[in-house]
Amino acid sequence: MSTAVVLPALGESVTEGTVTRWLKQVGDTVQADEGLLEISTDKVDTEIPSPVSGVIEEILVAEDETVEVGALLARIGDGSGAAPGGDAPAEEAPAEHQQAPAEQAQSTAAPAENEVEAAQQQAQSDSPAPAASSDATDVVLPELGESVTEGTVTRWLKQVGDDVAVDEALLEISTDKVDTEIPSPVAGTLQEILAGEDETVEVGAVLARIGSGAPAAQAPAQEAPAQEAPAQEAPAQQAPAQEAPAQQAPAQEAPAQQAPAQQAPAQQAPAQEAPAQQAPAQQAPADSDSDSLYVTPLVRRLASQQGIDLSTVTGTGVGGRIRKEDVLKAAESKSQAPAAEAAAPAAPALEVSPLRGTTQKMSRLRKVVAERAVASMQQTAQLTTFVEVDVTKLAAFRNAKKDEFNQKTGAKLSFLPFFTLAAAEALQAFPIINSTVDGDSIVYPASENISIAVDTERGLLTPVVRDAGTKNLAQLAQEIADLAARTRDNKLKPDELAGGTFTVTNTGSRGALFDTPLVFLPQSAILGTGVVFKRPGVVTVDGVDAIAVRSYVYLAISYDHRTIDGADAARFLGAIKSRLESAEFAANLGI
């Protein structure tokens, strides 16, 4: 089985590279992480390492040829497909098997001790154990971002002996930038796990091995009968001396009777069967702790608050895992029960956290957020400006369109896409808000890449909606919902967290009126949106002031005063306020 070598991502804006020199040729043996070739891009010249150990079977890109990121460069295997001469071992194999009967015939005249020794030597020459793992594929820790060099194994989703499909999640990895799942590169059986939970490994390290059969410990016992088949002409008088091992392994008794002359290797079968028989017992705890039964503390606490029995909830997460959305949906269904059952207390009692009175080590993500927050406050001059927006017309427009919008797009029409669209348009008019500081220069990006703050069980993450200024409400709503869901499910790619030029954080989703959000470098500003609420307000009707029930929202922009003045922030918020209060979004729905 060969492993594909592809051109990895070499930077956020790098899309292609030119092969300047191959350091290895077809037929050469390479080790994992050994340099294969040199690549030149418009930003950097670098070597591409081998992802696995093996023999170069094929080179698919010539020197001086330019290829895109993700393109197939070469294939590395066990050498069986490396070159025309590589078929020689396969041609010699029949000759070895043809010699086996002759050797077996000669062994009939030797004492029993010599027979055992000869059979053991022949078993070693046949190498049954490597045969079980020769098609095994190494699962390595891939590159998870340009500056990510290592990751910590947080949880194995599969155990030794489990069957896995291509791209099926094997384990969860935590890095400085993202928590994600590592998929299986091939279909097969998980034969070996080489990195334990809570163990930190470098990019390129081997995490596990996947093959086409049982784990390596089981392979010799299963292959023993296949090696006994050639010895069918041996005298039957040798059978009594070696029947005992066969009696200890009834499952292999039939093949053993066909090959009395080579039953000596079968004596190893009982010793090798013990681990195989213990495997199901060892896997039982892992099976009972499958994704379908795994419930995070947040989900468990939410279910307790909502009075939901988790055993009655069907999970929609990875492997049937119960997510927060599943509990909320179950709670919503419960609230639609008869009025007699719906008379539950409006404010459920708060559950005492199990963390109370304990000391916990900070997660890697929390450490990174802490360091970046302190660095941002120390290196920038931040302040916040607020504005109140009357969104009564916008609320009416949203209520009138949300059902049709959901039917045609499959996404919910919340207020967030409106805020994001208005912010993207204002950023185009006031690019200083979208700028970054580079030494004594101000960089004005050519696009509005808006980071959306997402609250997860692991902490705050900010996936990026790229080119937000070119998208309509339907596109924004669908992309925001997709990014938020994949962020909470650890499905994000590292590049989806990088490249943001401006951030929108919806603190109103938890009922907050407003806050003073923190700007994270290298960005210069962040927009906070509060909860949309109703209260009496003064309106002018036919030139006469009147009091009416209106819908309002507070918008807050925190910004770096080194480059952004208060007037810039006020103009930016004024543009958003005017756009939202006019509520002229019919042409931007995208349905």
- To the query of whether residue 561 is one of the catalytic residues in this protein, the response is yes
- Compute the chain's Rg from CA coordinates: 32
Alpha helices in 127-187 (DSSP H): 128-133
Q: Which helix (H) or strand (E) holds 90?
A: helix 88-107
Any idea what DSSP says for residue 7?
-
Number of C-beta neighbours around residue 446 at 10 A: 8
Task: Name the amino acid, one letter, at 119.
Answer: A
Any idea what DSSP says for residue 266?
G
**Contact residues for 315 (Cβ-Cβ < 8 A; gap 6+):** 291, 292, 321, 322, 323, 326
477 touches 413 (CB < 8 A): yes
How far is CA 51 from each of CA 35, 77, 460, 491, 525, rounded to the nearest angstrom?
Answer: 10, 11, 32, 23, 40
Rounded to the nearest 10 degrees, what angle do helices 473-488 and 392-409 cross at?
Answer: 70
Number of C-beta neighbours around residue 418 at 10 A: 25
Supply 190's token pair.
């998980």
**Contact residues for 232 (Cβ-Cβ < 8 A; gap 6+):** 258, 259
Q: First-to-last CA distance in the chain?
A: 48
Dihedral-angle region of residue 543 (phi above 0 means left; psi in -120 to 50 means alpha; beta otherwise) = left
Rounded CA-CA distance 433/43 in Å is 27
525 touches 558 (CB < 8 A): yes
User: What would you measure as the largest C-alpha separation in the chain, in angstroms?
Assistant: 120
140 touches 206 (CB < 8 A): yes
Place of tokens 């390596």: 216
Rounded CA-CA distance 472/466 in Å is 13
Among residues 135, 390, 482, 561, the one annotated as catalytic is: 561
- To the query of whether residue 565 is one of the catalytic residues in this protein, the response is yes
Among residues 45, 455, 565, 568, the one annotated as catalytic is: 565
Supply 284's token pair.
């039982």
Shortest CA distance to 382 belongs to which of 521, 500, 503? 521
Instruction: Return the active site residues.
Output: 561, 565
